Amino acid sequence: MTPLALTLDLDDTLWPVWPAIERAEHLLMEWLHHHAPATAAAHDTRTLRALRNEVERRQPDWAHDFSRIRRESIRLALQQQGDDPALAEPAFEAFFAARQQVDLYADALPALERLAARWPILALSNGNADVQRIGIGRFFRASLSAREFGVGKPAPMIFHAACRQLGVAPAQVLHIGDDGALDVDGALNAGLRAAWVRRSGLPAPAPQGTPHHTVDDLLALADELGS
């Protein structure tokens, strides 16, 4: 069955996420050196990431909001070293701006051109990437993030909310993503069709269910869909 609309994961589907996060963490350290030297002296990127992970462990109800977790970890780092905790907001903004500087996979733009020419696409992500700030917003009818919705993939309700935004029944929507559990099984359990983008060299959990498409990149998917 040909879908009527698409939902598309972002991180590790359109670009590798960890290089972007690592660059953002290094820029955050540079910002702290200039504006909060005591905090910068006490930390490096490794210890700041450990503090961020500790906040996530302590606040499981924030799991859908990576921005809140990162902002709070910065505030704690500042507070612990006697720097002004109000600096957490501009520090996070420096991090967040750098986090949007992604390196798209070579197939991403040509595939988006082809797919968006035929179907409405909604960006559906558990992360905090912003398609407008990244510069690819023109390909998307809308975006829905776990932070905005209050719960992330694989919960069926976020998939159903995406379908409602598109005005299309779940069975007529194809979700595309790299994560077998979050994307493929999440979509299948919510009644959507699923495409698994299994990129070479990217460790991603295999789905328990059977995706409707399994491809190495998005251009291969565009070919299979006949776009």
The pLDDT tens digits for 193-216 are 999 999 977 777 789 999 999 999
The pLDDT tens digits for 181-194 are 999 999 999 999 99
Neighbours of 19 (CB within 10 A): 12
pLDDT exceeds cutoff 80 at 227: no
Could you state, in order of their start, the residue ranges of all structural domains in the chain?
A: 5-16+103-225, 18-99
In this structure, are residues 198 and 215 in contact, taking their beta carbons and an 8 Å threshold?
yes
Q: Averaged over 44-56, what is the pLDDT?
A: 97
pLDDT exceeds cutoff 80 at 95: yes
**CATH code for the structural domain at 18-99:** 1.20.120.1600
CA angle 14, 25, 146 (to 5 degrees): 50
Q: What's the fold here for domain 5-16+103-225?
A: Rossmann fold (3.40.50)
In this structure, are residues 78 and 88 in contact, taking their beta carbons and an 8 Å threshold?
yes
Residues 210, 211, 217, 219, CA torsion sign: positive
* Radius of gyration in angstroms for the set of CA atoms belonging to the chain, rounded to a whole number: 19
Q: Averaged over 121-146, what is the pLDDT?
A: 97
pLDDT for position 200: 79
Q: Averaged over 10-33, what is the pLDDT?
A: 97
| Neighbour-count burial for 155-192, b at 16+ CB within 10 Å, e otherwise | bbebbbbbbebbebebebbbbbbbbbebbbbbbbebeb
